[in-house]
Each structure stands twice: as structure tokens, then as C-alpha cells.
Structure 1
Amino acid sequence: MRFYEDIEVGETDRVGEYQVTKEEIVEFAEKYDPQPFHTDEEAAQRSIFGELVASGWHTGAICMRLTVERQRDIATLAGIGVDNLRWHAPLTPGDELHLETEVVDKRPSDRRDDRGYVTTRVEGWTGSGEMIISFEGIALVERRDD
């Protein structure tokens, strides 16, 4: 298990690969973001996208899954926020998303010495090299009990 003290500013990682399907895009959108360009292929063709696209929130949820899989060896207590969220391009059926991460900041908690804050810059890329999403995730990470 990696604790706060084991994480270094500047460390990078490439995380997972997740292929999104048309069915998954429609299912997510029908439940959470029912805009026509997410739920209806014909309507999507007439939209500014020209094809069915995943909701940005769906893209964010996929990033969350990949992040959790990455952090299984980190003593994460909780995620506490996301800053600078941007959707750069839409995720489309068949796209394979992976994350590139960099730890950009860390600081101990002012209130409790058993934890600290770690900020990670996250970029979501397709296999064809297009950036889809970027954000900074802030996590509360357990400190080693010395």
C-alpha cells in the first residue's frame, strides 16, 4: 500500500483502457443526460457533432472508474474535488479511452496529521491520440502511521 509519503510531485502514470459502446452511451444518457445527440443516432447526425456522442458526464464517470482501478494500491480516504474540468472533444462509440496522470501538488492536512491532500492532473486520450477530457482531481490520502 502506498501512503501520502510515498507519492511524489511529478510522478506520472498511464492508466487503463476503456472502450465505450453505442449501447452504453445511450443507456447512460437516457438515465442521466437525455439530450438527443446522446440518445438518438438520427438526431445526433443533425447535431453539431454529426454522430452519436457520449455525455461529458459519462466520460467523467469512465475516468472515475479508471482512476479507482489505478488507485487500488494507494491509501485514498476520499476524493474531495475536481478543478479545471474541460471537455476537449466528444467520446464516440468504439473510442478507447486511457488516462495520463501527473501528481502536481501535495500538502499535509492542517487539521489532522493522519492525512494529506494530493492533486493529480488527469487527461483522457483516445487510442488515436485525441484529448477528450482534462481535470485536476484532489484526493485525501492516508499518511503512514510512524
Structure 2
Amino acid sequence: MYNGTSAKDYFNHTGEYASDSEVTDIIPDRLHLDALQVGQVFHSHEYYVSADEIRAFSSKYDPQPFHMDDELAKDSIFNGLTASGWLTVSITMNLLVKSLPLAQGIIGTGVEKINWHRPTRPGDRLRISATITEITRSPARPDRAGVSIHISTIGQDNKIRQELVGNLLILRAKDPSATC
């Protein structure tokens, strides 16, 4: 699920991105700080976005007509039903958790930017490509580092729906030879 060598597992024999049913389930090792490096890329499976999910999320968190009503959405700037950008962010997080196997979990310390390049629509199949762009080790706490990650959320048409730059806190593995 990560690095250039395993990235090929996510492409079918024609070089196109594979759907969930074509990808073998691989359970990667849990990663600590020392296993990460700048430039490392993580890819996810696809996630299908349904109209029902768009409406349910929006009715609870972003109740705007172009997210909830097909007819009203046709007369909006989007010319049809679209997902809330916050649903796209939530799907991105779901895919990141499943494709970036951090031993201590994904601990966010902030988001530098979120850009929505085009709307997510019913029937879209989203996937992510997440690249580590910076690792800053803490001089005061050598057991941890800040890690910047650039995440592109991509549709089945290979067009980017969203880009996000996030900051994570990553921990080193505990030294098994150390005593308490």
C-alpha cells in the first residue's frame, strides 16, 4: 500500500487504477517514525460515493439545497447534486487511515490547506495518493516528529477533486531493550 514498489499493486494489467474488487487485501506492517521518509507515497483503495450518503451527510452537517435536493441542485452553480466538501474531507480521512498504517494512529496537529478543485458527485469512486513532504524531528522530544503530508483525492476520471496538506505527529517505536 505504500512506496513505489507496492504502488503497482493498485494498477491492473492495462495500467489503469484498479477497483476495490481487483486489489488484493494486503495488511501492511504498522509503521513508526523510522520507517517513514520524505517522498514516500501511500495509495488507497477506491471509495464509492452514493447520492444517499451525500444527502444523509449534508442533512446533518451541511444542509444546503445543492447537497440535498436533486431538482434544486440542477439550478445551482453545480448543475446537479454534489457532495459537501466536508464529506469529501471525511472520505479522504477514511481512506488515509486505511492506507497509511501508522502504529500509533493518525494524530493530526493541523491542516495547512484544503482546496476543492471540482465537486464530488453521486457515483464517483474516490481514491487518495498521499505523499510525505517533510519530516521535522523534535529536538526536545526525540521520540517524535512532525510530518507534513500532501493528499490528493482523485476520482475515477483521474481528476483531482480535493487537495489537502496536513500535519501529523508521528512517534518512534519504543525501544524493546529499554527498561522502565
| TM-score normalised by length of structure 2 | 0.77
**Which residue of 2 is the match for residue 55 of structure 1?**
84
- Is 1:75 paired with 2:104? yes
The percent identity for this pair of structures is 35
Superposed counterparts of 1:104-119, under 5 Å = 104-119=133-148
- Which secondary structure does the structure 2 equivalent of 1:16 belong to? coil
- Is 1:32 paired with 2:61? yes
**Which residue of 2 is the match for residue 144 of structure 1?**
173
Deviating beyond 4 angstroms after TM superposition, the runs of 4 or more aligned structure 1 residues are none
**Which residue of 1 is the match for residue 12 of structure 2?**
none
Rounded Cα–Cα distance in structure 1 between residues aligned with 2:106 and 2:127: 24
Q: Unaligned regions of 5+ residues in structure 2, if any? A: 1-29, 176-180
Number of residue-to-residue matches in the alignment: 146
**Which residue of 1 is the match for residue 120 of structure 2?**
91
Larger Rg: 2
Aligned Cα RMSD in Å? 1.3
**Which residue of 2 is the match for residue 131 of structure 1?**
160
8 Å CA contact 1:76–1:140 kept in 2: the answer is no
Q: Deviations over 1:25-82 (max 9, x none)?
A: 0000000000100011000000011110000000000001001111234434611111
Question: Is the alpha carbon distance of 1:77 and 1:85 closer, same or farther for their aligned partners in structure 2, counting shifts above 3 Å?
Answer: closer
| TM-score normalised by length of structure 1 | 0.94
- Which secondary structure does the structure 2 equivalent of 1:137 belong to? strand
Rounded Cα–Cα distance in structure 2 between residues aligned with 1:32 and 1:145: 39
Rounded Cα–Cα distance in structure 2 between residues aligned with 1:27 and 1:109: 42
**Which residue of 2 is the match for residue 12 of structure 1?**
41
Higher RCO, 1 or 2 (CA under 8 Å, sep at least 6)? Answer: 1
Q: Unaligned regions of 5+ residues in structure 1, if any? A: none
8 Å CA contact 2:66–2:82 kept in 1: the answer is yes
